[in-house]
Amino acid sequence: MCCMIMRWLREAGEFFSPGRRVAVWEWVVLGVTCLAGLFVRMAHLARPIQNDEAATVLEFVVVPVKTLLTSYSLNNHLLNSFLTKVSIHFFGLTETSVRFPVLVAGMLSIVMVALVGARLWSMRVGLLAAAMVAFSPFTIYYSVTARGYMLQTLCFLVAWLATAVYLEGLREQGKRSVGALVVACLGLWLGFVALLTMLYAALGIGVWLLLVTLMERRKFFLHDVAPYVIASVVGAVLTVLSYMGVFLTVGVRYFFDNPWSKPRVYQEFFQETYWPLLRFWESVMALYAPLPAWLLVVPAVIALVPLISREKGGVPSLLVITVATAVVMLIQRGVVPARAFVYMVPVLALGMAVGWMWLVEGLGSLVKRREAIAAWGCMTLVAIMLVLGIRNAPVTRTLEAGAEYTPGFVAAILVGKHVPEGAVVYSTKSLPMTTAQYYLRMHDRKWYRFTAPWDADAQTIPDMPSFWLLADTRYDATHALEEGLESLGLNPDEWEVEEKADHLGAGLYYITRREG
């Protein structure tokens, strides 16, 4: 068995890092990194369900498949919704089963980053980048949050690696790898099914492919890349077919009229989109947070190395993908949320890893022991990443304000305990009402008539003799209560307010009309 495993690892190493033997210790380091990354993620996997996750489950998962494929909203990431439905079918409805697909995607992304690094640079670069991705607060958070962002990231890495394999086959052997074409097609297609913002990543890969082709025109020509273009067209057709039910139901215009894709004025665009992207850099730099401030200059400076370094493809894909993403965003001017660009975290991590290994190998060359110093330097840097990542695991920052705190979970407990089933429960807009509905309907099997300021049902409340009010009391209970009454157009002097419970930021009140 051990001999078989060693043979598989040797063959995998020859495939993913041609021209250089992948040592056993490198596979061991990758395995330890994955186990440590899994340990960190498991600590957050069973936390209370978040508001967007609850909306996905209620509206698109625990419904017929037809509803899933013909409905669209910002919470229906098709691939995630479908995989979550499959997971719940086999494992039951729990927080863990809801997040299981993205957990798998997050773990596979760690491996894929290492393989991309090995293919384009060296396995040492891949190992260091994998350690950064394993403990990036962004990738940790979206590996345990049932949304489509880590699925998109995984598909992007798969398409990127398959493209690199295809190009190297043309360059070294003059062969067109059918397997690489199929994998690239699947990666692009499933990436778009995960999130339509895969467009940015796909264009980055496409521009990189074109530039490599132009620079390597002595070894292969544009017609050699034609099969890849055909595979991309097939992926586009599959994407259209995947969204056909949505197109027929809500129309194509919806995808261009929604708040995220609508062009904005440049001032608003820069404030709401470009600057938030700096949080991804913060996500990578957060790994170095325990180090002295002056040491942060080192990784910041060496991160510039990939901008001028020539990888095996002759064109720095890191630079091309980053610039292509920025240019397309600038042309579109849509206020796309920063979380749609989680796939940039592996790109930044690979850039940092290239810079670090360039520095370590340079030091090794000075003492004429380049390989030995590079190996020990890689292991040392990965070990530092593991120690810092595991140390920070209990308090990993999500970079999403209040993301780890769910007053809707508390609200569900209060409503289930105090409110009769079927009663009308009005919620202020700041309280995650969807989360409360998730727990009450999915776990306690109780039904309530929840309504909010934006619902038509809320207009009938002033005519009722009594109703229940949920308020977010994390900051000011009195203001939250007044806000709830004012949003209904009610005069506080005409209603009696009885506080039933106020716990961990969720307040529950019973409102009755005063007699006379």
pLDDT truncated to tens, each residue of the chain (516 aa)?
Answer: 555 555 555 555 555 556 566 788 888 899 999 999 998 888 888 888 888 888 888 888 888 888 888 877 777 888 999 999 999 999 988 889 999 999 999 999 999 999 999 888 888 889 989 998 998 878 888 999 999 999 999 999 999 999 988 888 877 766 778 888 899 999 999 999 998 889 888 988 988 888 887 776 655 566 777 888 888 889 889 988 888 888 887 776 666 666 666 666 666 666 655 554 555 555 445 444 444 444 445 555 555 555 555 566 556 777 788 778 777 777 776 667 777 888 888 888 888 888 778 778 777 777 777 777 878 778 887 887 777 777 665 444 443 333 444 677 778 888 888 888 888 888 876 667 788 888 887 777 777 888 877 777 777 777 888 888 888 777 666 777 777 777 777 887 788 888 888 877 788 888 888 876
Which residue, 343, 330, 337, is CA-closest to 258?
Answer: 337
Give the total residue count for the chain: 516
93-125 b/e (C-beta count within 10 Å ≥ 16 → b):
bbbebbbbbbbbbbbbbbbbbbbbbbbbbbbbb
Beta bridge mates, 457: none
Show the tokens assigned to 151. 């699925």
d(CA 447, CA 509): 18
Q: In this structure, what DSSP letter does residue 273 have?
A: I
Query: Which amino acid, 313?
Result: G
Assigned token pair, 496: 């009696």
